[in-house]
């Protein structure tokens, strides 16, 4: 099974990129983040032409997640369990596919909105850990993948790419990412490439791409039974070099 995640930074602008990538790579499932549209504006027919069903949790102009699937799936949650009912930010979709629970997430950045914005990020991560713990307690095979907006260690960003006060590298953010690992989840990319750059994001500013000043903030975490079946986990750097690309690249995970 090939499962991928990609923050596309506007699905309508990046529709041609997504179509080309689907045709080239042919994943079974592609989780999208930051689609920046509501469901009626999502280009579902375009992806259907390639054999992919679209399930969308959208929001006008901001956020938004979706999953494109060419295998049977069941959508089980369209919001992160445990969040207040009035929270309207479109950041989570959870499905079942082949007996595996898969959560596609767009975790809050945490750098806007001052202290309240960062507190929202941490609270969201706490709810995510609680959801993961509940699924693992039931021995449900689990994948959590998407844009986590966290560089787990200093090795996950180019030197000087972010100040230590940035929400993506603050100790509280990293501690909550480690909490997910301590539950028994495996960071798929680092399981196969324990060290060295494996960036998934390059800012549009300051020549970040040509200078390779990247960040690793898009992750796939696997429960123990799936980690044993891991074949490959790779950021697709090729996509960042396309014309008018997203600032993120897909991360493709293959399990037996």
* Average pLDDT, integer, range 54-62: 97
Q: Where are the domains of the chain?
A: 2-255
CATH class as words, domain 2-255: alpha beta
Question: Torsions phi, psi of 66, nearest 5?
Answer: -160, 165
pLDDT at 189: 98
pLDDT at 37: 98
Q: How far is CA 27 from CA 3, 5, 219, 251, in A?
A: 6, 10, 16, 11
Taking a C-beta distance cutoff of 8 angstroms, is the pair 5, 220 a contact? Answer: yes
Q: What is the pLDDT of residues 68-91, one digit of tens each?
A: 999 999 999 999 999 998 999 999
Q: What is the pLDDT of residues 127-143, one digit of tens each?
A: 999 999 999 999 999 99
Confidence of residue 252 (pLDDT cuts 50, 70, 90): very high
Confidence of residue 44 (pLDDT cuts 50, 70, 90): very high
* Average pLDDT, integer, range 201-224: 97
How high does pLDDT run on average in the chain?
97
- The Cα 139–Cα 135 span in angstroms is 7
What pTM was computed for the model? 0.97
Confidence of residue 126 (pLDDT cuts 50, 70, 90): very high
């Amino acid at each position: 099974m090939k499962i991928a995640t990609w923050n596309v930074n506007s699905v309508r602008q990046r529709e041609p990129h997504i179509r080309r990538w689907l045709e080239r790579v042919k994943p079974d499932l592609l989780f999208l983040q930051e689609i920046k549209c509501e469901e009626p504006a999502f280009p579902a027919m375009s992806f259907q032409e390639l054999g992919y069903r679209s399930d969308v949790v959208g929001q006008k102009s901001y956020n938004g997640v979706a999953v494109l699937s060419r295998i049977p799936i069941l959508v089980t949650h369209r919001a992160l369990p445990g969040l207040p009912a009035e929270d309207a930010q479109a950041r989570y979709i959870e499905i079942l596919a082949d007996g595996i629970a898969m959560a596609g997430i767009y975790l809050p950045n945490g750098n806007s909105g001052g202290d309240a914005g960062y507190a929202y990020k941490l609270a969201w991560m706490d709810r995510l850990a609680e959801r993961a713990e509940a699924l693992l307690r039931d021995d449900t095979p689990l994948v959590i993948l998407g844009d986590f907006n966290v560089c787990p260690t200093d090795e996950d960003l180019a030197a000087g790419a972010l100040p230590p006060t940035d929400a993506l590298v603050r100790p509280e953010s990293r501690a909550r990412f480690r909490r997910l690992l301590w539950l028994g989840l495996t960071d798929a990319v680092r399981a196969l490439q324990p060290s060295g750059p494996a960036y998934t994001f390059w800012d549009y500013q300051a020549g970040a791409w040509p200078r390779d000043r990247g960040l690793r903030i898009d992750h796939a975490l696997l429960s123990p039974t799936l980690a044993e079946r891991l074949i490959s986990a790779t950021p697709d750097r090729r996509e960042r070099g396309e014309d008018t690309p997203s600032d993120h690249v897909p991360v493709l995970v293959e399990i037996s």
